[in-house]
Amino acid sequence: MSSDLQVVLRGMRGAVRHNVSLAALTHLRVGGPAEWFLEPFAEEDVALAVATCKSLDVPLRVLGGGSNVLIADTGVRGAVVHLGNLNRIVRDGNRITAGAGVTLPSLLRATKEVGLAGLETLTGIPAQVGGAVAMNAGTRDGETFDHLVSLTVVDADGEIRVLPRDRCQPRYRDGGLLDQIVLQATFDLRQDDPKAIFERFAASLKKRNATQPVAQRSVGCVFRNPPGDAAGRLIEAAGCKTLKAGGIEVSGLHANYFVNLADGTCQDFLALMAEVRRRVQSQFGIWLEPEVKIWGL
């Protein structure tokens, strides 16, 4: 029973809190509370939390940077684990190991400062390392798994294990990890002039700022690109730019981004998704699949 969770997890280092609002922890600023909110201190504590939730039959979800998740207005049952405490970055030659709670911007700054290149393709993605790996986050220029050599994960039984890259099967916007939770990731990079790395960062950010509503509250791309086409192009061609539902609007800058204008809700977002899908299917015969993760429905 979930009511026993706080008692059983007394041995876990870190915080265990009840009925915690999640909206402020997401980029969209939408959603209700988590029944239980867990902030483990270290990898072993994550493993204990996973094993405990399984033994008590408590649903468990992992919240990273909150950049690609839509949370129901009524919240989520069970436990939400946040890995912000796993925030160490360790260098070994050309290899960088980053904890799941390290933000991608922090990781990119750290690699630039020591003259290690390769992760510039991830510039501008507002995710944590764990979430970026889990969804194989990327841009048109590259993906998270491009330079990844190994992962430390915890499986559904609470066992910690190391996965070499050749045992992973990432796909487009999916790390292929199933129910395994990322604890840390190791990347193999190359040496380069920090100034040259910074120039590539700056060029990528300039391009991203010009084509995406990065300053507004969103979940990134709402729909996956269908084979051979782009969801944003289809949505725009279907006349959906600046279409609104309540406080949520299709961005006028990039049609595959929905932005929270002020007081949008999850229901607003879902209503807008449904209307956009309907229009695209009506005009092009294509049913758009969501890229955003939807919790609690």
Buried/exposed code over 193-212 (b: 16+ C-beta within 10 A; e: otherwise) = eeeebeebbeebeeeeeeeb
Question: What's residue 198's pLDDT?
Answer: 92
Helix (H, G, I), strand (E, B) or coil at 148: strand
Q: What is the pLDDT of residues 26-62, one digit of tens each?
A: 999 999 999 999 999 999 999 999 999 999 999 999 9
| Overall fold of domain 231-295 | 3.90.78
C-beta atoms surrounding 109 within 10 Å: 13
| Model pTM score | 0.91
Q: What is the pLDDT of residues 242-284, one digit of tens each?
A: 999 999 999 999 999 999 998 999 999 999 999 999 999 999 9
Question: What's residue 124's pLDDT?
Answer: 86
Residue with token string 């290149």: 117
pLDDT at 106 over 90: yes
**CATH topology identical between 2-82 and 89-211:** no
Question: What's residue 274's pLDDT?
Answer: 98
Question: Mean pLDDT over all residues of the chain?
Answer: 94
For the chain, the structural domain boundaries read 2-82, 89-211, 231-295
Confidence category of residue 2, pLDDT binned at 50, 70, 90: low
C-beta atoms surrounding 164 within 10 Å: 11
Residue 118 amino acid letter: G
Q: What is the pLDDT of residues 221-249, one digit of tens each?
A: 999 999 999 999 999 999 999 999 999 99
Considering the domain 2-82, what is its CATH architecture? 2-Layer Sandwich (3.30)
Question: What's residue 3's pLDDT?
Answer: 61
Q: What is the pLDDT of residues 8-21, one digit of tens each?
A: 788 899 999 999 99
Question: What's residue 172's pLDDT?
Answer: 87
Q: What is the pLDDT of residues 169-194, one digit of tens each?
A: 999 889 999 899 999 999 999 999 99
Residue 253 has phi, psi (to 5 degrees) of -95, -40
Considering the domain 89-211, what is its CATH architecture? 2-Layer Sandwich (3.30)
How far is it, in rounded angstroms, from Cα 107 to Cα 119?
9
Reduced 3-state DSSP string for 236-255: HHCCCCCCEECCEEECCCCC
pLDDT at 204 over 80: yes
How far is it, in rounded angstroms, from Cα 102 to Cα 170?
21
Q: What is the pLDDT of residues 128-183, one digit of tens each?
A: 999 999 999 988 889 999 999 999 999 999 999 999 999 999 998 899 998 999 99
Confidence category of residue 1, pLDDT binned at 50, 70, 90: very low
